[in-house]
C-alpha cells in the first residue's frame, strides 16, 4: 500500500512537470533544506546508498532536484533515468552525476547562478524504500567567487517557495558543529511552520563534535521541540570519499558509532541514515493519505477551471471551411454582446478592483463633469468695471433711468458660453471610455484569431468616431441655444421683490458687520423697496426695469450740473472708471451681478442634466443598438473568412497544453479516487 501511495504522488509530479502545472497543485512532498556544507547532500547519498550527487566547493546544487526512489527487485539491474531524457537509462551512477551537472549548466548557465526549474531524477535500486525527496540549493549569506551578489536572497526565496506550501514536509539539516540557535534551516522552517507540525530535523556530523560534548538533548527534543522529531546521522568524511570508502561500509560505520557512543547508545535504534529513510517513508505515506481527500477536492476544482479555460480557446475543428460562416457569425455576436454587457454592467467578468465599463461613464457624468461645471464661477473674468462699462454702453448717449436689460443680456451670454468647453470635454471623455471598452473586449475564443480581433476593434472604433461629431455638435448647440434667448421669465429666475429682498438681507448683514460705517450710508435697498410697490404685484419681473426710477430725483443734481467749461477730452473717458463709483452705481452693479449668478446657475443646472442625456442618446445608446449590425455588414463576407480565421500559433499550443492539463487532472482525480 505504501508503494502505491508514494507511486501516486510520483505520477502526479511527473505529469505536472511535463505540463507545467507544478504551482497549481500542492502535492505532499518532502523538502530538504540546509546550509552549504551542512552535509545535506551526504545525507541524501546515505539514504540512497549511492554516490550520484555533484561535489565541490561553493554552490554545488543550483537547481531543485526531485529525487524519486523506487525499490527494484533483486533480479533487476539498478538504473536511473531523467525526465528530460525519458528513453535513456543510466546504469553507471557516475554518469548520473555528470548529467546533473550538464543539465544544470544547460538551464542555469555555467556560472554559479541558480534556477528554479527542477531536475527530475528516478532511481530504481534494490535496497531502498520508496521515497520522494526534493533537494534544494544550500542556504548561504556571503557570495563566494563568481556567485551573484544577491545569491543568498535568491536561494532563500527559492526555499520559501517550496516550504511555504502547507502540504510540504520540511527536512531541516543542521550540522552538530554549530549552535542550533544559529541554524538557518530551522529558522526558515519555524518561519513557515511556527508550531513545528511538519518539520523534521536532521543533525549531521555528530562525529565531529568537540570531545566531551554531545547533542543528546537536541535529539531527544528537549532543546528544540518538533512534532516529527530529530534524527542524528554520521556522514562519510572527506577522507572517506577520497579513499573511495564504499557506501555499505559507511552505513555500517555509522551504526557502530551510535551503538558504541556512551551518549547515543540508548537511542541508537532511532539514529542513522537507515532509520531516517524508514521514518521519511512512514511520514510521507501517512501524510499523503491524510491529504488525499483535500487533494481530490482540489483536483475537482482544477478540472472545472481547466474545462472553462479550454472552452474559451474554441474548437480547432470549427475553423474548417464548412464551419467558417457559422463561426464568424458566432464570434461577431460574442464580441457585440461583450461590448454591450460591459457598458450595461452585466458582464460576467466585472472587476472588483477598479471602475470599468459603463460605471466609468457614469462616474464621468456624476463626478468629473459636475466638478468641472461647479468650478466655473458665474462671474468669472467679470469685474465691477466690466459691469459698469456694459451698463453705460447699453444706454448710448442717454442717461439711464432703469437698470438696462440689454446690459444683462450682454454680460450673461459670455458667462453661459463658458459651459461649452467642459460639456464638449465630457463628450470626449465618454468617447474615450467607449473606445477603451472596445479594446478590452474579446474572449480567448476571439483573440485566438488576431486579425479578426483587430478588425472587430477597428469597425467599432469607426462607428464610435462617426458618432462623435454629431454628439459634439448637439452638445455644442445646447449651449448655443441657451445663449440665443435669455429667458428672464424662467420659473426659477427671481422676481423683483425676491431679488430686492435678498439684496437687502445681504446689505443688512454687511452693515451689521461694519457698524462704524453705518452712518456713512445714506440709503439702503429697503428704502427703495417701497418705491416699487406699484409693480411688486408683478411677481416675475427679474430685470427690475424700474429699479432706479425712485433714484431719479435723488440723483437729479448730478445731471443738472453744467459742464460747458469742462475741457476734458475723449482720452479722459477711460479715467472716469478710476473714480470711486457712486452709491447708485454700486447698487446697480450689485443687482446685475446677483441676476447674472441666478440665471447662470439655472443654465448650469440645465446643462448638467442635458449633456449626459445627449451623450447617452447620440453616442452610447446608438453604438450599443447598432454595433452588431455594423459588425455583420462589415465583416460577414465570405471573401474575408480565410484571412480573419487565421489562428495564432501560440493559442493553438495553449489549447493543446490545456487539453493535456485536463487529461492529467482527470487521471489524477481517478487515481486519488481509487486510493480513497
Q: Is the pLDDT of residue 110 over 60?
A: yes
Q: Mean pLDDT score of the chain, rounded to an integer?
A: 80
Q: What pLDDT shows up at residue 504?
A: 67
Residue 355 falls inside a structural domain: yes
- Tell me how many domains the chain contains: 3
CA-to-CA distance for 500 and 523, rounded, in angstroms? 14
Mean pLDDT of 630-635: 93
Give the residue, 328 or 352, on which the prediction is more confident.
328
The answer to whether 188 and 174 have CB atoms below 8 angstroms apart is no
Q: What pLDDT shows up at residue 23?
A: 62
CA-to-CA distance for 204 and 201, rounded, in angstroms? 10
Sign for the CA dihedral angle at 388, 392, 394, 399 comes to positive
Q: What pLDDT shows up at residue 26?
A: 79
CA-to-CA distance for 552 and 590, rounded, in angstroms? 18
The answer to whether 544 and 391 have CB atoms below 8 angstroms apart is no
The answer to whether 206 and 176 have CB atoms below 8 angstroms apart is yes
Q: Tens of pLDDT along 653-675? A: 888 888 888 888 888 888 788 77
Three-state DSSP class for residue 174: strand
CATH number at residue 141: 3.40.50.300
CA-to-CA distance for 234 and 257, rounded, in angstroms? 8
Query: Are 614 and 668 part of one and the same domain?
Result: no
Residue of 281, 289, 288, 302 whose CA lies nearest to 28 = 288
Give the confidence band of 639 by pLDDT, cuts at 50, 70, 90: confident
The answer to whether 6 and 284 have CB atoms below 8 angstroms apart is yes
User: Domain boundary residue among 271, 303, 334?
Assistant: 271
Compute CA distances 169 → 33, 201, 273, 291, 537, whole Å: 10, 11, 18, 12, 93
Q: Is the pLDDT of residue 167 over 70?
A: yes
Give the confidence band of 564 by pLDDT, cuts at 50, 70, 90: very low
Residue 227 falls inside a structural domain: yes
Residue 483 falls inside a structural domain: yes
Query: HSE-up of 566 (CA within 13 Å, CB side)?
Result: 9
Most confident of the following: 11-15, 372-376, 506-510, 583-587: 372-376
CA-to-CA distance for 20 and 30, rounded, in angstroms? 20
Q: What pLDDT shows up at residue 470?
A: 96
Q: Tens of pLDDT along 506-556? A: 767 666 766 545 444 433 333 333 333 332 333 333 333 333 333 333 344
Residue 13 falls inside a structural domain: no
Query: Are 391 and 264 part of one and the same domain?
Result: no
Q: What pLDDT shows up at residue 258?
A: 94
The answer to whether 445 and 314 have CB atoms below 8 angstroms apart is yes
Query: Are 588 and 669 part of one and the same domain?
Result: no
* Beta-strand pair 65-71/131-135: antiparallel
Q: Tens of pLDDT along 572-581? A: 445 555 556 6
DSSP 531: G
Ordered DSSP codes for 210-254: PTT---HHHHTTSSS--TT-EEE--PPPHHHHHTT--HHHHHHHH
Ordered DSSP codes for 598-630: HHHHHHHHHHHHHHHHHHIIIIIIHHHHHHHHH
Q: Is the pLDDT of residue 610 over 60?
A: yes
Contacts by residues 469-477 (CB-CB < 8 Å, ≥ 24 positions apart): 470/618, 471/427, 471/431, 471/614, 471/615, 471/618, 471/619, 472/424, 472/427, 474/614, 474/618, 475/423, 475/424, 475/426, 475/427, 475/611, 475/614, 475/615, 476/420, 476/423, 476/424
The answer to whether 583 and 523 have CB atoms below 8 angstroms apart is yes
The answer to whether 132 and 168 have CB atoms below 8 angstroms apart is no
Q: What pLDDT shows up at residue 90?
A: 94
Q: Is the pLDDT of residue 561 over 50?
A: no
Residue 299 falls inside a structural domain: no
Q: Tens of pLDDT along 386-408? A: 766 766 666 655 555 455 577 77
**Number of CB atoms found within 10 A of residue 111's CB:** 13
User: Domain boundary residue among 235, 256, 271?
Assistant: 271
Query: Are 250 and 398 part of one and the same domain?
Result: no
169: its cell numbers: 514536509
Q: Is the pLDDT of residue 201 over 50?
A: yes
Query: Are 344 and 417 part of one and the same domain?
Result: yes
Residue of 228, 233, 179 whose CA lies nearest to 207 = 233
| pTM of the full structure | 0.58
Q: Is the pLDDT of residue 266 over 50?
A: yes
Mean pLDDT of 300-326: 78
Query: Are 359 and 443 part of one and the same domain?
Result: yes
Q: Is the pLDDT of residue 642 over 90?
A: no
User: Domain boundary residue among 271, 288, 307?
Assistant: 271
Residues belonging to the chain: 676
Q: Is the pLDDT of residue 94 over 70?
A: yes
The dihedral over CA atoms of 24, 29, 30, 34, expressed in degrees to the nearest 10, equals -10
Query: Are 376 and 391 part of one and the same domain?
Result: yes
Poorest-pLDDT segment among 132-141, 154-163, 392-401, 595-604: 392-401
Q: What pLDDT shows up at residue 147?
A: 73
Residue 448 falls inside a structural domain: yes
Distance of CA 659 to the CA centre of its chain: 28
CA-to-CA distance for 61 and 54, rounded, in angstroms? 7
Q: Is the pLDDT of residue 622 over 50?
A: yes
Mean pLDDT of 447-461: 91
Instruction: Give buried/exposed letters for 639-670 (b at 16+ CB in 10 A, else e).
Output: ebbeebbebeeebeebbebbebbbebbeebbe
Mean pLDDT of 619-642: 91
Query: Are 224 and 263 part of one and the same domain?
Result: yes
Q: Is the pLDDT of residue 448 over 70?
A: yes
Residue 305 falls inside a structural domain: no
Query: Are 653 and 585 part of one and the same domain?
Result: no
Q: What pLDDT shows up at residue 347?
A: 64
Query: Are 62 and 94 part of one and the same domain?
Result: yes
Residues 6+ apart with CB under 8 A from 119: 63, 64, 65, 66, 82, 83, 84, 100, 103, 104
Q: What pLDDT shows up at residue 42?
A: 86
CATH number at residue 352: 1.20.120.1240
CA-to-CA distance for 516 and 131, rounded, in angstroms? 100
Mean pLDDT of 465-488: 93
Domain span at residue 434 reads 325-503+581-645
Residue 18 falls inside a structural domain: no
Give the confidence band of 270 by pLDDT, cuts at 50, 70, 90: very high
Query: Are 175 and 41 part of one and the same domain?
Result: yes
Q: What pLDDT shows up at residue 256?
A: 94
Q: Position of cell 529525487?
A: 67
Distance of CA 419 to the CA centre of its chain: 37
CB-count burial class (<10 Å; 0-12, 13-18, 19+) for 442: buried
Query: Are 592 and 664 part of one and the same domain?
Result: no
Q: What pLDDT shows up at residue 668?
A: 80
Q: Tens of pLDDT along 342-384? A: 888 776 666 555 566 788 899 999 999 999 999 998 887 777 6
Amino acid at each position: 500500500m505504501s508503494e502505491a501511495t508514494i507511486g501516486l504522488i510520483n505520477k502526479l509530479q511527473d505529469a505536472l512537470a511535463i505540463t507545467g502545472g507544478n504551482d497549481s497543485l500542492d502535492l505532499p512532498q518532502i523538502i530538504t533544506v540546509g546550509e552549504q556544507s551542512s552535509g545535506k547532500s551526504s545525507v541524501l547519498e546515505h539514504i540512497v546508498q549511492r554516490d550520484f550527487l555533484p561535489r565541490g566547493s561553493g554552490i554545488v546544487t543550483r537547481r531543485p532536484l526531485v529525487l524519486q526512489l523506487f525499490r527494484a527487485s533483486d533480479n533487476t539491474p539498478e538504473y536511473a533515468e531523467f525526465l528530460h531524457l525519458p528513453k535513456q537509462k543510466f546504469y553507471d551512477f557516475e554518469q548520473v552525476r555528470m548529467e546533473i551537472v550538464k543539465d544544470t549548466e544547460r538551464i542555469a548557465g555555467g556560472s554559479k547562478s541558480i534556477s528554479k526549474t527542477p531536475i527530475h531524477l528516478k532511481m530504481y535500486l534494490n535496497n531502498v524504500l520508496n521515497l520522494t525527496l526534493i533537494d534544494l540549493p544550500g542556504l548561504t549569506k556571503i557570495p563566494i567567487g563568481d556567485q551573484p551578489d544577491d545569491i543568498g536572497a535568491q536561494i532563500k526565496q527559492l526555499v520559501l517557495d517550496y516550504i511555504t506550501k502547507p502540504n510540504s514536509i520540511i527536512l531541516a539539516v543542521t550540522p552538530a558543529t554549530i549552535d542550533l540557535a544559529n541554524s538557518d534551516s530551522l529558522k526558515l522552517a519555524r518561519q513557515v511552520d511556527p508550531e513545528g507540525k511538519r518539520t523534521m530535523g536532521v543533525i549531521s556530523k555528530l562525529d565531529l563534535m568537540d570531545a566531551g560534548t554531545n547533542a543528546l538533548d537536541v535529539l531527544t527534543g528537549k532543546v528544540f521541540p518538533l512534532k516529527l522529531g530529530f534524527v542524528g546521522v554520521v556522514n562519510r568524511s572527506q577522507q572517506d570519499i577520497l579513499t573511495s570508502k564504499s557506501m555499505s561500509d559507511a552505513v555500517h560505520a555509522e551504526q557502530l558509532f551510535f551503538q558504541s557512543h556512551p551518549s547515543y547508545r540508548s537511542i541508537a535504534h532511532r539514529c542513522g541514515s537507515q532509520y531516517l529513510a524508514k521514518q521519511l517513508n512512514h511520514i510521507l505515506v501517512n501524510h499523503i493519505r491524510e491529504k488525499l481527500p483535500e487533494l481530490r477536492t482540489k483536483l475537482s476544482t482544477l478540472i472545472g477551471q481547466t474545462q472553462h479555460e479550454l472552452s474559451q480557446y474554441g474548437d480547432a475543428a470549427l475553423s474548417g471551411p464548412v464551419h467558417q460562416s457559422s463561426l464568424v457569425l458566432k464570434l461577431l455576436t460574442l464580441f457585440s454582446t461583450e461590448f454591450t454587457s460591459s457598458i450595461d454592467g452585466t458582464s460576467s467578468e466585472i472587476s472588483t478592483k477598479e471602475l470599468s465599463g459603463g460605471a466609468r461613464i457614469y462616474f464621468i457624468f456624476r463626478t468629473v463633469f459636475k466638478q468641472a461645471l461647479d468650478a466655473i464661477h458665474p462671474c468669472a473674468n467679470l469685474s465691477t468695471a466690466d459691469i459698469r462699462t456694459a451698463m453705460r454702453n447699453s444706454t448710448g448717449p442717454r442717461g439711464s433711468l432703469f437698470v438696462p436689460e440689454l446690459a444683462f443680456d450682454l454680460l450673461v451670454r459670455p458667462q453661459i458660453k463658458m459651459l461649452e468647453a467642459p460639456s464638449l470635454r465630457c463628450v470626449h471623455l465618454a468617447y474615450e471610455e467607449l473606445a477603451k471598452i472596445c479594446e478590452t473586449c474579446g474572449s480567448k475564443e476571439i483573440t485566438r484569431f488576431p486579425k479578426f480581433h483587430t478588425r472587430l476593434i477597428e469597425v467599432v472604433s469607426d462607428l464610435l468616431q462617426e458618432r462623435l461629431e454629431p454628439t459634439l455638435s448637439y452638445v455644442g448647440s445646447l449651449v448655443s441655444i441657451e445663449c440665443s434667448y435669455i429667458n428672464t421669465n424662467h420659473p426659477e429666475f427671481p422676481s423683483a421683490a425676491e431679488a430686492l429682498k435678498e439684496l437687502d438681507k445681504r446689505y443688512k448683514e454687511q452693515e451689521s458687520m461694519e457698524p462704524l460705517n453705518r452712518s456713512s450710508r445714506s440709503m439702503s435697498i429697503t428704502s427703495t423697496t417701497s418705491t416699487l410697490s406699484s409693480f411688486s404685484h408683478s411677481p416675475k419681473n427679474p430685470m427690475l426695469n424700474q429699479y432706479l426710477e425712485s433714484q431719479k430725483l435723488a440723483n437729479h443734481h448730478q445731471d443738472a450740473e453744467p459742464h460747458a467749461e469742462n475741457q476734458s477730452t475723449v482720452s479722459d473717458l477711460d479715467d472716469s472708471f478710476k473714480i470711486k463709483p457712486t452709491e447708485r452705481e454700486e447698487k446697480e452693479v450689485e443687482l446685475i451681478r446677483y441676476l447674472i449668478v441666478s440665471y447662470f446657475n439655472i443654465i448650469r443646472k440645465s446643462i448638467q442634466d442635458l449633456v449626459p442625456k445627449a451623450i447617452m442618446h447620440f453616442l452610447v445608446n446608438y453604438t450599443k443598438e447598432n454595433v452588431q449590425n455594423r459588425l455583420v455588414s462589415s465583416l460577414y463576407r465570405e471573401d474575408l473568412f480565410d484571412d480573419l480565421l487565421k489562428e495564432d500559433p501560440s493559442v493553438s499550443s495553449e489549447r493543446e497544453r490545456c487539453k493535456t492539463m485536463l487529461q492529467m487532472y482527470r487521471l489524477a482525480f481517478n487515481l486519488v479516487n481509487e486510493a480513497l
